[in-house]
Amino acid sequence: MAERVLILGGGFAGNAAARALRGQGLEVTLIDQRNYHLFQPLLYQVAAGDLQAEAIATPQRRLLRGDLHFRLGRVARLDLSQRSIFLDDGDVLPYDYLFIALGTVTNFFGNAAIASHALQLKGMEAAEAVRSRIFSALEAASHCTDSAERRSWLSFVIAGGGPTGVEFCGALLELLRVVLPRDYPELRLEELQLTLVEGGAALLPGFAAPLQAQAAGKLQKLGAQLRFHTHVLGFDGQTVQCQPDPDIPAHTVVWTAGVTAHPLAATMPGAKGPGGRIIVDPHLRLPGHPEVFILGDLAYGSDGAFWPQVAPFALQSARHAALVLQSQRHGRPLPPPFAYRDPGSMAVLGRFDAVCQIERWHLRWHGWSAWLLWLGLHLYRIIGTRNRLLTLLDWGTDYLRHGAAVEIIRSPTDPSDPCVHTQPSRHKMQAGNLTSSAS
């Protein structure tokens, strides 16, 4: 009987691990609560209306053909001593080897008010909820007779100045600068306010100072108001409470200020690193359990080496773990300890502009060429020819027409739908219960 490998999580790490184990005489099953793989780096473009969600989502079963298997389900708990996974539908799945690649969830730092009212960019439903909120706010503002209330509808706040916050800020500004005068003649562009709040001294932590300055200058040129050394303390759907800066009247807050490990990580034995990440041995295994591998965003090195929570690290960790598993199975010497090879960092700032740095080659630049590199790499990393073509079509529509490719407000009837609470109310607006898919 073939040895059983369970992979928890269908993001970059989980899918890469499954593909690396294809054809190795193993019974490989990937488990995820969504039946699709989501290209998370472009999720903000779904929120900004640049892409349709289907362009960056690929059915798992299309990716896991051949001797790979897929199981739709949510992991309730695991029993390491019995080598079993318990799903929330009651099924119990035994394993010989376990790969855990459940990724992260949005970190609201224990602030229940923000978690209840702010939107996030984790998962397809969440991104579509953000897009619906944006266009719902424009509709509400278009027929609002009270000037102060109208400005609140036209006030958008992004909390967090990392790559996601910066890229979404640029995309949203370019969207609104075109859509408002073209499609909403009742509104004046001067009433629009987009504020990016960052707790640190600069945008894009980890980037070189000149690139951080370039990002700030570009967003300010587009019309963003930047607040540094500022923390969002609360949000009730009407007002964003800031410290030490003044509060911001706004109905829309998008939270990109941090992530934390999937809740399952807290139930596992062993030491934890920053953000609840699981500290692993030099071969990405759970200490004391050589049959359990921790991949991607959940893994943290025992030597404290910097492992960023990005797609390249997820892919590299998955391939290394697959090599280690094969060595263990066949009694061969293990490969050298895992060492992350940083391919560089980049962030798009808007139309035809991006920042890029490749530290091992001491390269740092911005502008048109950096944007082209960003474009090419993201198209290359999208899984599937169909998805690449859909993305190219949406980008072409967006760039040629200078407007959103998707301007649809979802009108859900199911109360459990995460967008159901995003329709504008004259008095109060609440975010729905947004869930995040494992990545």
**Does some domain include residue 57?**
no
Check pLDDT > 80 for residue 429. Answer: no
Question: Could you give the CA distance from residue 389 to residue 384 in angstroms, rounded to a whole number?
Answer: 9
- pLDDT given for residue 437 in this prediction: 38
Band (407; pLDDT cuts 50, 70, 90): confident
Domain count, the chain: 2
Whether 19 and 91 map to the same domain: the answer is yes
- Rounded to the nearest integer, the mean pLDDT of the chain is 92
**Does some domain include residue 267?**
yes
Question: Could you give the CA distance from residue 280 to residue 274 in angstroms, rounded to a whole number?
Answer: 13
Check pLDDT > 60 for residue 423. Answer: no
Whether 180 and 222 map to the same domain: the answer is yes
- pLDDT given for residue 417 in this prediction: 36
Question: Could you give the CA distance from residue 348 to residue 376 in angstroms, rounded to a whole number?
Answer: 12
Q: pLDDT of 172-222, one tens digit each? A: 999 999 899 999 999 999 999 999 999 999 999 999 999 999 999 999 999
**Does some domain include residue 430?**
no
Whether 204 and 271 map to the same domain: the answer is no
- Read off the pLDDT of each residue in 245-262 and give the average, rounded to a whole number: 97
Question: Could you give the CA distance from residue 103 to residue 275 in angstroms, rounded to a whole number?
Answer: 11
- Please answer whether residues 38 and 45 qualify as being in contact, where contact means their C-beta atoms are separated by less than 8 angstroms: no
- Please answer whether residues 434 and 108 qualify as being in contact, where contact means their C-beta atoms are separated by less than 8 angstroms: no
- pLDDT given for residue 430 in this prediction: 33
- End-to-end Cα distance, the chain: 30
3-state secondary structure of 288: coil
Task: Give the DSSP H/E element, type plus range, for residue 280.
Answer: strand 278-280
Q: Which of 217, 214, 170 is nearest to 45 (CA)?
A: 170
Examine the fold and report which residue of 330, 364, 391 is the final residue of a domain before the chain moves on: 330
**Does some domain include residue 38?**
no
- Longest Cα–Cα distance of the chain, Å, equals 75
| Domain at 96, CATH number | 3.50.50.60
Whether 190 and 218 map to the same domain: the answer is yes
**Does some domain include residue 311?**
yes
The residues annotated as belonging to the active site are 167
Q: Which of 7, 8, 56, 37 is nearest to 405 (CA)?
A: 56
3-state secondary structure of 144: coil
DSSP state of 11: S
| Domain at 179, CATH number | 3.50.50.100
Question: Could you give the CA distance from residue 369 to residue 347 in angstroms, rounded to a whole number?
Answer: 13
Band (414; pLDDT cuts 50, 70, 90): very low
Whether 265 and 253 map to the same domain: the answer is no
Task: Give the DSSP H/E element, type plus range, for residue 439.
Answer: none
- pLDDT given for residue 305 in this prediction: 86
Whether 292 and 363 map to the same domain: the answer is no
Whether 235 and 96 map to the same domain: the answer is no
Band (408; pLDDT cuts 50, 70, 90): confident
Question: Could you give the CA distance from residue 147 to residue 242 in angstroms, rounded to a whole number?
Answer: 23
Alpha helices in 292-436 (DSSP H): 311-330, 368-381, 385-401
3-state secondary structure of 412: coil
Whether 176 and 227 map to the same domain: the answer is yes
Whether 165 and 307 map to the same domain: the answer is no
Q: pLDDT of 127-145, one tens digit each? A: 999 999 999 999 999 999 9
- pLDDT given for residue 314 in this prediction: 98
- pLDDT given for residue 403 in this prediction: 63
Question: Could you give the CA distance from residue 265 to residue 331 in angstroms, rounded to a whole number?
Answer: 29
Whether 135 and 227 map to the same domain: the answer is yes
Whether 125 and 230 map to the same domain: the answer is yes
Using the structure block, give the residue that is written with the tokens 């407000």.
Answer: 409
- Reading the block at residue 408, the tokens are 């649809």
Whether 271 and 203 map to the same domain: the answer is no
**Does some domain include residue 231?**
yes
**Does some domain include residue 12?**
yes
- pLDDT given for residue 274 in this prediction: 96
**Does some domain include residue 87?**
yes
- Please answer whether residues 224 and 195 qualify as being in contact, where contact means their C-beta atoms are separated by less than 8 angstroms: yes
**Domain ranges, residue 193:** 112-257+344-401
Higher pLDDT, residue 304 or 325: 325
Bridge partners, 234 (sequence order): 241
What are the φ/ψ torsions at residue 425 (nearest 5 degrees)? -120, 145
Q: Sheet containing 239-243: which strands, arranged edge to edge?
A: 231-235, 239-243, 248-249
Q: pLDDT of 79-120, one tens digit each? A: 999 999 999 999 999 999 999 999 999 999 999 999 999 999
Sequential DSSP letters for 161-227: -SHHHHHHHHHHHHHHHHHHHHH-TTS-GGG-EEEEE-SSSSSSTTS-HHHHHHHHHHHHHHTEEEE
